[in-house]
Amino acid sequence: MTTQHPKLLDLVRQRIRYKHISYRTEQAYCGWIKRYVIFHQMRHPQEMGRLEVESYLSHLVNVGNVSQSTHHQALSALLFLYKEVLGVGLPWLLELNRPNKPKRLPVALTHLEVQSVFKHLSGIHLLMAKMLYGTGMRLNELLQLRIKDIDFELQEIVIRQGKGDKDRVTILPTSIQTELHQQIEQAKKLFKEDRLQNRIGVYLPDAIEKKYPKANVSLPWFWVFPAANESSDPRTKIIRRHHIYHQGLQRAFKEAVQRSDISKFATLHTLRHSFATQILRRGYDIRTVQELLGHADVKTTMIYTHVLNRGGLGVKSPLDSL
């Protein structure tokens, strides 16, 4: 009887999940690795090396005309494949040239522009947009909030397993507390419905589920923004209630921006940029902003300091002196 070895992409998924990397990153990495293998006529990556990686990345740039960020993601996927899955030595991998990432200033909305957009949002979409702008959270961090993560007394929100699998604390704006209380009451109704129907509990990270077997059917671990209906878990295929998906909010925000006649290109992530710039304008130090945003390196946060200079580098134009 022959032993059936796991398929390459199954090994990639296992390693990604072991390292608690997000599902969206899992999808992206598996996509790039699959395209890499197809590009080289289905050869196994174990049989290939530096020349094959470089030729594929060169093809992406010269033929595929991909952006630098896309090129960077493809390279990261292949680095993960060789280092984490295949256990290949790193010397030649580390020597691969990464494209220089262009320095671009983040798009941020003014306070008046944010107000204009919010006028065209309502209900849960308005509350979620307010939370993104008022806390500096990333979209996925907002969607994955649990009821226990909201502390009304201390006026803070604990963000669990944010980018880089790190926890941090951010502020809970006073102005949204009533709306947030109401949202949690709505979430509690769905929680009670699930328990009456004896449905499978919410998703929990593996380590938590093993340590606290009944946590997934307890109120503190229930979503702040639960979906109206159950759906299949993309990884386990288990039918359960997940949090709200991002598509509805993104669509509503896009329409709100268009209706507000703002000339800037703005997405939900723009609200995070806007939070950072407003905090800096109000005199808070860069380290505080770094902690609130969850940046591993303060250099990432430094890109927002351009807002401290009114006009280009704070220089007054000679034209204004005429």
Q: Are 66 and 58 in contact, with CB atoms under 8 Å apart?
A: no
CA 280 from chain centre, in angstroms, equals 22
Task: State the Cα–Cα distance between residues 128 and 247, nearest whole angstrom.
Answer: 13
Whether residue 138 lies in the annotated active site:
yes
Active-site hit among 71, 243, 272, 273: 272
Whether residue 13 lies in the annotated active site:
no
CA–CA distance from 309 to each of 42, 276, 290 (Å)? 53, 15, 19
Helix H, strand E, coil C: the string for 242-310 is EECCHHHHHHHHHHHHHHCCCCCCCCHHHHHHHHHHHHHHCCCCHHHHHHHHCCCCHHHHHHHHHHHCC
Whether residue 272 lies in the annotated active site:
yes
Active-site hit among 120, 148, 163, 306: 163
Active-site hit among 15, 138, 146, 242: 138
Whether residue 241 lies in the annotated active site:
no
Nearest to 160 by CA among 134, 131, 138, 188: 138
Active-site hit among 101, 269, 287, 310: 269
Active-site hit among 36, 82, 203, 304: 304
Instruction: Please classify residue 166 by burial: count the beta carbons closer than 10 Å to its beta carbon, then call 0-12 exposed, 13-18 middle and 19+ buried.
Output: exposed
C-alpha torsion angle, residues 227, 208, 26, 290 (rounded to 10): 90
Q: What residues pair up with 150 in beta bridges, in sequence order? A: 157
Nearest to 138 by CA among 128, 125, 149: 128
Other C-beta atoms closer than 10 Å to the C-beta of 47 total 8
Q: Which residues are catalytic?
A: 138, 163, 269, 272, 295, 304
